[in-house]
Structure 1
């Protein structure tokens, strides 16, 4: 289920079965490498949507959490943990944060959710068979990881 009205309506009536939330973490910067940042955003959005399809019936895909990479990570951790605290009230038993940014890995212990670091896909054509295969493989691996928590 995604963060859209029709899916949220279904979630409300079936929330006892939907115990997992996925929050994509996306860094946003207008002053550095715009094309690469836009590409990474697009890939993580596709990957998150495919993961939601793979695990339909058990997960909710939250809106992406955007942050400025050069900001103080401690402040971002506090802000992100407020998000997590709020969604745990639904209740979501499992909350996963997905990111290409390895800097979050250093702060993983301070996060109130499970962090999943995904190696960046440097570049490519989103529509190519190779890219689709790469995303499919990552979805498969992350899906297996999430299932291990259930």
Structure 2
């Protein structure tokens, strides 16, 4: 389910079946980090869309969590924990964060269980058909991780 009026309305009616939240993490960097941030953002956003399509009816794709690369250390992590806690309090049993920013790999153990890090693949010069083929391959990898999490905690 996507974050739009129609699908949120459906979510409200079918809440008991939609137990998983997906939140893309998008860095915002400037100067020499700008291109890398844009590439990571494009990759993770497209990946999240493909993942939502695969699990439509079981998960909700939320708007991206955007943060500054120059943000004070620990501040983005603190805000992200707040997002996760709010989602869990709202009834989501599973919360996954998707990122290509390697800085998140060194986060607290508490968030690490929810974090799914994948190295970004530059998509800017790729044919649309090839982009989607690559995304399908990436989604297959994530499917295994998500399903295992559902099985182990469900």
Instruction: Tell me if TM exceeds 0.5.
Output: yes
> Quick check: which one's helix share is greater?
2
Deviating beyond 6 angstroms after TM superposition, the runs of 4 or more aligned structure 1 residues are none
Q: Provide the rounded CA distance (Å) in 2 between the counterparts of 1:51 and 1:117.
A: 14
Q: 1:98: how far off?
A: 0.5
User: Residue 105 of structure 2 contacts residue 112 of structure 2 at CA under 8 Å; is this kept in 1?
Assistant: no
| 1:31-50 equivalent positions in 2, closer than 5 A | 31-50=31-50
CA distance in 2: counterparts of 1:110 and 1:17, whole angstroms: 25
1:2: which partner in 2? 2
Match of 1:141 in 2: 141
- SS of equivalent residue, structure 2 residue 17: coil
Deviation at 1:22, TM superposition (A): 0.4
Give the aligned partner of residue 60 of structure 1.
60
Q: Is the 8 A contact 2:43 2:123 kept in 1?
A: no
- Which structure 2 residues correspond to residues 68-79 of structure 1 after superposition, within 5 A? 68-79=68-79
Q: Which runs of 5+ in 1 are unaligned?
A: none
Q: Which runs of 5+ in 2 are unaligned?
A: none
- Give deviations 1:59-89, integer Å, cap 9, x for gaps: 0001100011122331111111111111112
Q: TM-score scaled by structure 2?
A: 0.88
Separation of aligned partners in 2, 1:41 and 1:149? 25
- Offset at residue 103 of structure 1 (A): 1.1
Give the TM-score, by structure 1 length. Answer: 0.90
Q: Answer yes or no: is the 8 Å Cα contact 1:77–1:110 preserved in 2.
A: no
Aligned to 2:132: 132
Q: Which residue of 1 aligns with 2:13?
A: 13
